[in-house]
Structure formats: structure tokens, C-alpha cells
Chains A and B, each alone.
Chain A
Amino acid sequence: MLHIEHFSKSYGTKKAVDDLSLSIAPGEIYGFIGHNGAGKTTTLKACCGILQGDCGRITVGGLSMQEDPLGCKRLMAYIPDNPDLYDFLSGIKYLNFVADVYGVPADLRAERIRLYADRFELTKDLASPISAYSHGMKQKLAIVAAWLHSPRLIIMDEPFVGLDPRAAHILKGMMREHCDGGGAIFFSTHVLEVAEKLCDKVAIIQRGRLIAAGPMDEVKGDGSLESVFLELAGDTSLGGQG
């Protein structure tokens, strides 16, 4: 579903992502973990076509992001780490805007808005302007908007930040449901316990380089994901300090 081959991106002299390659197959929830500034957001944004890489190739559903960005974007949805949405629109207007852009028929969108907004108990607030929403409500709205056109690939940057425990639980269920239906999810998180329980595969990035990737059981082995992550991260960063 998503293939990243030898992707690199620099900001000035700083290499944010260095020769990163990984693949996500349909049906997989793929976790992406790393410390702050490791290159997670840069990679996720490049996968959505928001950022241009310096080199490498990204394909979504067999389409090249460089050659057919619109075709790729039609297959996917993106939820950023900080859901800055159009404050001047109401929740329902924002959802209709996204549905129009993806060409979701009126009856289908109504059904899906009802389904997902009800799940997050957001329905009664849909008429309110987004400017009146809390961070969590914006996050829920961004999630509903992402699911609205039934994308094959959903890319999320720290999706659980700002969500209450109930909403986080619902989102986890929706992620599983989406992948069981043949979709794929690629998301970053700092909550390693969630990643460990939820993800089929995981990739660990450090200073722009992929240091581990594969099925969860293989990456964590007999330990926990947290201990593996700290061990892998500690080998280099603590060594540098010492």
C-alpha cells in the first residue's frame, strides 16, 4: 500500500531523514516511533505529499507521489500532530468541504458523518464554529474527516494526543476495523504501550535513520517495546554523552 524507498530530506545542512526505506501492506497497522526531532513528522508529511524529499521514491497503492500526487492523495487521509482546522467553518461545513473534495456522494457522507460523529459524541457540536472547539474536539473532527471517504491508507501523526481515554479507545477500535477491512495505517506515537498492543509492525527512527523495522514480535523480541526502544536509542545517544 505504501512504499518508501531510500527517502532522504535535509533542512539546510541538517539531515532530517536519511535513506529511509519501508513498506506497509494492506491490513497492517504500522507504528512509527522515535524521539523528538528524529524525523517522524518529516517522513509522514512526505508520504502525504506535503513535503518534497531530496531523493528517494514514495508510492501509494502503486502510484508515485512524485508523478501522480493527486492520485496518491485520493487513496489516503492525513491527520497532523496539531489539528489546525478552518476556524471560520462549523464542524459540519468542514466535513462537507472534505467530502466534496473527495467526491463523497451526499447520502453516503450523511451516513458516515452520523456514524463517526456519534461514535465520538461530536454530533451535537457539529453546528458550532471550529473556533469554539477544544483541542480534543478538533482532533475528533479531524479523525471523522479522515475516515469520511474510506481511504485505503491513513497516515496519522500522534493521533492520541488530546483525546480523552474513551475517544482514544474508540480510535484504536476504528484503526483495527479499518485494517481488517483491507486498509492500512501508518502512524507515529510516543505512547509505546499503545504501539505495542495495536501495531502489527513497527519502525524505530533515530536521527533520521531507521534503526529497526519489522513485525512487532520480531522487533521487541522477548522484552517490551519500551525496553527495546530505550536500548536502541541509548546505545547511540547515551554513548554520545558519555
Chain B
Amino acid sequence: MKTLSLLIGLRLREMFSSLLRGPSRGGKRRSPVVMVLLALLLVYVAAVFMFLFFSVFLVLWIALEGAGLELSFFFGIAGLLTVALCVFGSVLATQSALYQARDNEQLLSMPLSPTLIMLSRMIFLLLINTAFAAVVAVPAFVVYLMLGRPGLLSALGFILFFILLSVLALAISCLLGWLVALVTARMKHKNVFSLIFMVLFLILYFVGMGALSAGLESMEMNIQPLVEAISPYLAVFLWVGRALLYGDVLAALLFLLVFAVVVGCAFLFLSRTYLRILTTNRGSAQYTYRERASKQCSATGALVKKEISHFVGNATYMLNEGLGLLFAVGISIYFLVQRDVVLSVLHSMGLASASSVLVAGVLSLCASMVIISAPSVSLEGKNVWIAQSLPLSGGQVLCAKAYAHILIASPFFLLASVLCAIACGAGPGELLGILLLPLSCNVFCAFLGVTMNILFPKLDWLNEAYAVKSGAAVMLTMFGMMLICGLQVVLLLVLAILGLPALVVMLLPSALFLGLSAALRAYLNGAGARRFSSL
């Protein structure tokens, strides 16, 4: 038990050290102001998501009660969303934390049971899963308290239910992680498989969420068909609802039985295969070297190529920081295919004349979700000595990270902008605006990401996924950009309603983004470069 707590403490220290300590070699503690800002950011992020889920659960409860339907469906949906969010949020991180952690070999060489090592990693992952689960569970609990008025026992049962759900989600994540590790063990292009796996998972998630959202929209009119259609798939979660609402002991026991079987089987299976997977050298994929003439490029070009190689070589990196690219292209294709429907909706809202402005705003929102550059300094990790010892200025290294971001994302936004411009029948002026706004937002996001990361670098990670997913710079850039772009959409609408020409409306924020980008670039070449050389 003592060893287990030591191992868990090790993981926790790794996680918190980036937040508590600065990037300098001495590991100086961050100032209280920075700590407070980071805490506020975390609260803001959690609040945004919790508010979204709260709205969904509130509508759901009222609709179910209004239609006189079984309220256990509420728990079914809440349970499903919890498990889906936990699994989606942690499957690749679970795989890399279990099987690819840098200290696996070191720990295996110590007199520690492999099951204990695995368990320590699982418990740490459970903490992350519980945090994900809380984003869904807290709003569901608030709605349950407000409208369900449960007794103390039911309230405690609800909390226990969600803790068990995060354990269940962890078991599923671990099994999926094991599957990914097994399939990719000898693959040349592991990242391609992981990418396809996660994109399919993502599509499934969003199709499911889309269907649920469409169902919720039509709830007040007719919720019964939705409940009847989904209920059979939610049986496990519905049992909990019945146990909490009606004190159905049998339903509670059935849930606990399913939970115990799934979690027990997953744990037994993983503990039996863990050591074998870690210690069996299945041999890496074979590569044949053929000498080819290489083209000489500039130092900045070489840095940009290196950054792009890093991005396309890591599925977790691509999915977490490049998701907005998929959204941009997906939205533009949807708009082109469903042009008439979308335009008629805009027409009914009195926004038909502002369609090009809105489209540009939506694409720039997608651009705000592309944060490729945000973990790029942290990802240097132990390799930071290379850039520092080569004849490269800090500004050159940092700006190359932003350029790589811009180069990767721009083709996607160009394509999306052109498709959207065709869909809304934009003239040359509007086309220019639709092209310029998302691109300038993308440029700003690229420079902001690097700036945030040079201010909040985390170089001593044990697992690359940690730098990619949960660094302070990633959070600050993502939510900062979402806030800025959200405000920008409001500004665009106000300017459009005031009657300014569409091109002018789109050029104003574009110019602002480019101006701010120039300021950030100057910072990276000055103070940012000095910070880089002292990392």
C-alpha cells in the first residue's frame, strides 16, 4: 500500500510540478499571481462546459416530467455522456500512460510488482477521468437536486454512481488502449492508425451527440419516441436511475454486477498482459534506407519541416490541437451540401444579408480551435539542447513553430473558405473577406500559442501526451482564443446589422488579428527569445 501511494505520488508530482513550478532549471515556484490566473482559467473552462451540460439536463428533466415519462432516462443520458466524455478524453492518454511512459523500464527494474505499477497508473488516470466525469456529473447533480429533491441517501447514491462510472470508463479506456498498443506494436505508421481510430471515435461521438441534440430540440413536442428508441441501449444506466428514484434494490444490484464484471475482467486481463506487452520486444517495423538527393533549405525552413514532422508523427498531437481543421472542412462541406437549408434558416432570422460575415466568423471560431503551436515549446522536452546549441536565434526557433502552425492549417482554411464562399454566393469582395478573416485568425492563434508556451513551458514531462493535452499554454490558448473569437462573432454581427459593407466588417477584425500577430512576433524575437535561451 505504501509503495502504491509512493507511485501515485510520483505521478501527481509530475502533473502538478508544471503548474506549481516555473520553467527555469532551478525549478523556482511560480508567483502567486500566475497561480491565481491559472486557477481562474481552470474555473472558467470547467464553468463553460458545466453550463452547457446544465442546459441540456435541465431541458431533459423538464421534458421528461412534462411528458410524464420515466425520469430514470435522465440518469441514462447523464451516465452515457459521462462514460463517452471520459473515454473520448482519455483513450490515447491511457494507452500512452500505461504502455509508453518513459519510466516504465526504470520501474520494472525495481522490486515492484508489475500489477502495482499498472495499478498506480490506473489510479492516476482515474483521477483524470473523475475530473472529466465531474464536468457532466456536477450539472446533472445540480438539476437532480433542484428538480428531483432527493433524500440524503439518494444524493449520496448519485455521487457514488458517478464515481463508479468514471471507474467503468477507465476500464473501457484501458481495454481500448490495450487494443491500440497491440495493433500498433509493429506498425510503421502507428500515428495513421491512431488517427483513423480516433477520428472514427470522434465521428461516432459527434453523430451521437448530434442525434441527441436533435432529439432534445424536439423533446417538448414529442419526447416519447426518443425515449423508446434509446432506452434499450441505456439499460445499465437506467437501473441506477430506478435505484435512486424508487429505491429499487434489484436494479442497483444489477448495475453493480455489470460494473464488477466489466471492471474485474478488464483489470484481470490487463494485469495478466501488462508485463508481457511491456517486456516483449516484438521488433520494430523494418525500414530500408535508400540514398536520395536531398534539397538544401534555409535554417528556418529546416525548423518548420521539423515542426511539421512532429505534428504529423503524433496522432494525439494532431487530434488534440488540430481538431478545428476537421470542423472547418466538415462545416464548409455541410454548408455547401445543405446550402438551401442553411440560407433559409439565416433568412428566417433576418441574417441572410450577413451570411458571408457569419460564415467567416464561424470559420474563425474553428481557427481558434487549432492550437498546434501551443504545446510546441513544451514538446522540445529534453531535446531543447539541440536548438540551443545550433546557430539559431531563439526568435528563429519560436517563430518557426508559428510558421509551421500557419502552414499546416492554412490549406484547410483556404479550402473551407472557398467552399463557404461558393455556398453563400459571395462576390469577389466578400470572398476576400471570407478568405482573410479565418486566415488572419489562424495566424494570430499560431503566434499566441507560441507566446503562451514560452511563458508557460513544461519540458520535464514523462509522457508527450501530457504536454499536448494538459499544459497551461494549451488551455490558455484554446480558451483565450475561443473567448476572443466569440466576442469577434458578436462584433461582426453588430457591425453587419449597423449596415457596414461585408468586406469592411470582415477586414476590421482581420487587420486587428494581423496587427496583434505582428506584436507577438516582435515579442518572440525579443523577450521570448531570451526566455527560450534560458530554458
Residues A99-149 near B (CB distance < 8 A): 99-106, 109-110, 114, 123-129, 132
Q: Say yes or no: is B310 at the interface (Cβ < 8 Å to chain A).
A: yes
Which residues on the B side are within 8 Å of A90 (C-beta)?
287
B387 to chain A, nearest CB (A): 9
B16 CB within 8 Å of chain A: no
**Given A11-B25, A114-B291: A52 in contact with B533 (beta carbons within 8 A):** yes
Looking at B298, B309, B314, the one whose CB has the most chain A CB atoms below 10 A away is B309
> Interface extent on B, as a size class?
35 or more
A230 CA to B441 CA, complexed, in Å: 63
Query: What 0/1 pattern do residues 288 to 324 of B give for CB contact below 8 A with A?
Result: 1111011111110111011001100110000000000
* B residues 379-419 in Cβ contact with A at 8 Å: 381-383, 385-386, 388-393
Report Cα–Cα, A127/B314, bound state, in Å: 18
- Interface residues of B: mostly helix, strand, loop or mixed? loop
List chain A residues, Cβ under 8 A from B385: 45, 50, 78, 80, 84
- Cβ contact within 8 Å between B294 and A102: no
CA–CA, A93 and B518, complex, Å: 31
B109 interface contact, C-beta 8 A: no
CB pair B293–A106 under 8 Å, yes or no, is yes
Contacts of A11 in B (CB 8 A): 25-26
Contacting residue for A73 out of B303, B310, B383, B389, CB 8 A: B389
- Asked if B348 CB lies within 8 Å of chain A CBs, one says no
Closest beta carbon of chain B to A95's beta carbon, Å = 9
Return the chain A residue nearest B296 by Cβ: A106
Task: Note all chain B residues with C-beta closer than 8 A to A48.
Answer: 388-389
Q: Are A110 and B293 touching (Cβ within 8 A)?
A: yes
| Docked complex Cα distance between A104 and B295 (Å) | 10
Residues on A with beta carbons closer than 8 Å to the beta carbon of B295: 106
Q: Kindly state whether residue B284 has any CB partner on chain A within 8 Å.
A: yes
Shortest C-beta distance, A231 to chain B (Å), equals 33
Which of B299, B310, B389, B393 contacts A100 (CB under 8 A)?
B299
Q: B279 at interface (Cβ–Cβ under 8 A)? A: no
Quick check: is A92 within 8 A (CB to CB) of the other chain?
A: yes
Interface string of B448-491 (1 = CB under 8 A from A): 00000000000000000000000000000000000000000000
Which of A12, A92, A109 lies in contact with B26, CB distance below 8 A? Answer: A12
Task: Name the one of B298, B303, B306, B383 contacting A84, with C-beta atoms under 8 angstroms.
Answer: B383
Query: Closest A-chain residue to B306, C-beta based?
Result: A97
State in angstroms the CA–CA spacing of A236 and B290 once bound together. 56
Chain B residues lying within 8 Å of A132, measured Cβ to Cβ, are 284
B299, A101: Cβ atoms closer than 8 Å: yes
A29-55 vs B, Cβ < 8 Å mask (1 yes, 0 no) = 000000000000000010011101000
27 examples of A-B residue contacts, CB within 8 angstroms: A11-B25, A12-B26, A48-B388, A48-B389, A49-B388, A49-B533, A50-B385, A50-B389, A80-B385, A84-B382, A89-B306, A92-B289, A93-B309, A96-B294, A97-B302, A97-B305, A98-B390, A99-B294, A100-B302, A101-B392, A103-B299, A104-B296, A106-B295, A109-B294, A114-B291, A124-B288, A129-B287
A-binding residues in B (CB < 8 A): 25-26, 284, 287-291, 293-299, 301-303, 305-306, 309-310, 313-314, 381-383, 385-386, 388-393, 533-534
- List of 4 A-B pairs having minimum Cβ-Cβ separation, nearest first: A100-B302, A73-B391, A127-B289, A127-B287
Taking A71-B391, A78-B385, A89-B309 as known contacts, 6 extra A-B pairs with beta carbons closer than 8 A to each other, sorted by chain A number, are: A49-B388, A88-B309, A101-B303, A101-B391, A103-B296, A124-B289
